[in-house]
Structure 1
Amino acid sequence: MRVLGIETSCDETGIAIYASDGGLLAHHLYSQVALHAEYGGVVPELAARDHLNRAVPLIQQTLTAAQLNWSDINGVAYTAGPGLIGALLVGAALGRSLAWAAGIPAIGVHHLEGHLLAAHLESPAPAFPFVALLVSGGHTQLIAVHDLGKYQLLGESLDDAAGEAFDKTAKVLGLPYPGGALLAQLATRGDPNRYRFPRPMTDRPGLDFSFSGLKTHTLTAWREEQLTRTDNEQMRADIARAFEEAVVETLIIKCRRALAQTGLTRLVLAGGVSANQRLRERMQLAIAAVGGETFYPRAEFCTDNGAMIAYAGWLRLCAGQLEPLSFQVHPRWALDSLPPIKTADAI
């Protein structure tokens, strides 16, 4: 089976083709960063309109790269949620319409399930069960992945997601949108011993997160230091380093706690923030120190992309899961409400 994946949950248009007899055949991504930069954040209406403009040409580009015709596609997977409702509707309407016209099945994919399974696009892929840290601009969650489609939420952020805190802190430091990756680059020039910021909610039991207070602490430190220090560029780098160190260590502490609580030994990093190099390096060492293994997809599959949607949709379509011609999108969608995937049929 060859499945076309369509991802339009926010500000990136992702298209990919995944096949039973060849794995990932082709994928393309168009980012709207430049479109939203002047507004300092994603404008939902503009995002939806740009998906309308980009999706069909990207589909054709991906078919060409895979050396396929539309008649070679056996199924369509599209992101049905969570995400921006207008953006989701573009991908869902397009995916369902293409499938109806071709007489092939289509299925709506949970965006977070796509992220959780993205590491299976790599080799070696993590065996089930495992703990996943899903860390992005919109989510910071610890999830026990017992099997395909069997997910248990262990903990989540009570306020800002880690990626959101990165972006907001970058704005405080005067970095342009989107600032999270730029903050991480700036942190490489910072002195790790200059400041030590708090590691929120690590002094109490549990697996929930909170990054809002850390963001406020960083803002306070930035304002106070501006009154006494004159080396603004180095101060900016030092504060960025302290913020990043605090986030990374907090995530490590919670991940090790989750593995101990569940008795599992495999950890999967997923979501945009999981591309952070310091997080990957430090997490791998910390998990190895307690006898565990760490897995993560390549950087291009950490952010929103069509490959993860094509793969997750391929699994569900191969397992025989079908949907009616009508479709729904879900701006909010609980991950544990998904039906399990019958592993033997899907693989």
Structure 2
Amino acid sequence: MGLESSCDETAAAVVVFEAGHAYVASSIIASQIEAHAPYGGVVPEIAARAHVAIMDQTVLKALEQAQLGFTDLTGVAATAGPGLIGGVMVGLLTAKAIALAQGLPMVGVNHLEGHALSPRLEADVPFPYLLLLVSGGHCQLLAVKGVGDYQRLGSTIDDAVGEAFDKTAKILGLAYPGGPAVEHAAQSGDPKRFDLPRPLKGRPGCDFSFAGLKTAVARAAAILSPLSAQDINDMCASFQAAIGDVLVDRTRQAMASLPLPAEVPGRFVVAGGVAANETVRARLKELCDEQGWSFFAPALDYCGDNAAMIALAGAERLALGLSDGLGVHARSRWPLDGDAAHAAPKFKTGRKGPKV
């Protein structure tokens, strides 16, 4: 069983993992969109209280959907970070209680590892592969060499791509959550109308930057205010095109720098909430076709936060003999490549530093 509560989804799932292949027996996700919509973003205190209120019911629904009981489980996993610490604690403590009561092995899963392995829920995606992790809180390129073995190639130096989508939606007065709203509006817009910047495009390395793009959207919107419906559609289409250009450029750089043996074919995975964006998927698929790489992405149900990917990550770790005791603690920050994060941090500490 896997539990996920790192942000604003309370999720529980049961995954059967045998001979390296996964089958999702159940996946329950309780969204908090209505609770956070009036604020235009996730409020940590509201999220934590909502997790407390419905986590037990979500667990029972997952078992019911899988037609199993607690005694049928062979292990339990939960997101132990990174994320909103109040929410992370709810799922992790629930998993500890189940593990203690049933005498089961317990795994504290890195939420990012869940995303990294999520395509393996439905497809045979052998290691190694190049991963583009794009979500509301993360944007990074990693070489995935195996379970627990990740090498960071590049990361955002300011904001995540999903956060840029949400902020653009807020600037333009679109509904929350912003990502789907921007994508929908862009379908009726002209992607060439607004000449928006492509931060770091063409620069050496694989890092990202989206703060300047958000600022450009805000300035263009202020000049045109009040915005017509077509103005909003065109702005969304132009913004989405800029995002696509940046992601393709940075991914191309990573493909060129990824140290792969000659006999290993190129495999590319895009995962995370923004991977549900059809335009982004299509642009990255075109890049893979151009480079002769295989393209993988999780099903739309497993792009956003979900517990099936956490259950899979836990099962893959248990299959390798890796587990945690009940003393595993919740973490608000937890990089996949800890060595790179400590050796070359993208963010400096300090009162005036970025919120991340």
- Please give the TM-score of this superposition, normalised by the length of structure 2: 0.90
Q: CA deviation at 1:322?
A: 2.5
Determine if the alignment matches structure 1 residue 322 to structure 2 residue 318: no
Residue of structure 2 equivalent to 1:11: 8
Determine if the alignment matches structure 1 residue 148 to structure 2 residue 147: yes
Q: CA deviation at 1:263?
A: 4.8
Letter of the 2:147 counterpart: L
Query: How far apart, in 1, do the equivalents of 2:43 and 2:311 lie?
Result: 26
Query: 1:96 touches 1:327 (CA, 8 Å); kept in 2?
Result: no
Within-5 A mapping of 1:27-42: 27-42=27-42
Equivalent residue pairs, number: 331
After superposition, the C-alpha distances for 1:168-195 in whole angstroms (9 at most, x for unaligned) are 0111101122212101100010012322
Q: 2:231 aligns with which of 223, 235, 252?
A: 235
Mean Cα deviation higher: 78-87 or 313-322: 313-322
Residue of structure 2 equivalent to 1:257: 253
Residue of structure 1 equivalent to 2:333: 332
Determine if the alignment matches structure 1 residue 309 to structure 2 residue 310: yes
Query: 1:51 touches 1:90 (CA, 8 Å); kept in 2?
Result: yes
Q: CA deviation at 1:196?
A: 2.6
Cα RMSD, aligned residues only? 1.4
Q: Which secondary structure state, in structure 2, belongs to the residue aligned with residue 142 of structure 1?
A: strand
Query: 1:8 touches 1:90 (CA, 8 Å); kept in 2?
Result: yes
After superposition, the C-alpha distances for 1:191-237 in whole angstroms (9 at most, x for unaligned) are 1232231211013211111100001111111122337xxx7111111
Query: How far apart, in 1, do the equivalents of 2:192 and 2:328 lie?
Result: 54
Query: How far apart, in 1, do the equivalents of 2:279 and 2:68 lie?
Result: 39
Q: Which runs of 5+ in 1 are unaligned?
A: 339-347
Mean Cα deviation higher: 181-190 or 218-227: 218-227
Query: 2:12 touches 2:308 (CA, 8 Å); kept in 1?
Result: yes
Letter of the 1:246 counterpart: A
Residue of structure 2 equivalent to 1:69: 69
Query: 1:11 touches 1:33 (CA, 8 Å); kept in 2?
Result: yes
Letter of the 1:251 counterpart: L
Residue of structure 2 equivalent to 1:170: 169
Query: How far apart, in 2, do the equivalents of 1:20 and 1:266 lie?
Result: 23
Residue of structure 2 equivalent to 1:97: 97
Determine if the alignment matches structure 1 residue 223 to structure 2 residue 222: yes
Q: Which secondary structure state, in structure 2, belongs to the residue aligned with residue 141 of structure 1?
A: strand
Residue of structure 2 equivalent to 1:116: 116
Query: 2:191 touches 2:235 (CA, 8 Å); kept in 1?
Result: no
Letter of the 2:220 counterpart: A
Within-5 A mapping of 1:256-295: 256-264=252-260, 265-295=266-296
Q: Which secondary structure state, in structure 2, belongs to the residue aligned with residue 335 of structure 1?
A: coil
Query: How far apart, in 1, do the equivalents of 2:125 and 2:165 lie?
Result: 28
Query: How far apart, in 1, do the equivalents of 2:234 and 2:53 lie?
Result: 42
- Please give the TM-score of this superposition, normalised by the length of structure 1: 0.92
Residue of structure 2 equivalent to 1:247: 243
Residue of structure 2 equivalent to 1:344: none
Q: What percentage of aligned pairs have identical amino acids?
A: 46
Residue of structure 2 equivalent to 1:296: 297
Query: How far apart, in 2, do the equivalents of 1:111 and 1:170 lie?
Result: 25
After superposition, the C-alpha distances for 1:247-299 in whole angstroms (9 at most, x for unaligned) are 01100111111011115521100100011000111110122111112100011
Mean Cα deviation higher: 15-24 or 27-36: 15-24
Mean Cα deviation higher: 176-185 or 241-250: 176-185
Q: Which runs of 5+ in 2 are unaligned?
A: 261-265, 340-356
Mean Cα deviation higher: 183-192 or 13-22: 13-22
Query: 1:15 touches 1:28 (CA, 8 Å); kept in 2?
Result: yes
Q: Which secondary structure state, in structure 1, belongs to the residue aligned with residue 11 of structure 2?
A: strand
Query: How far apart, in 1, do the equivalents of 2:190 and 2:178 lie?
Result: 20
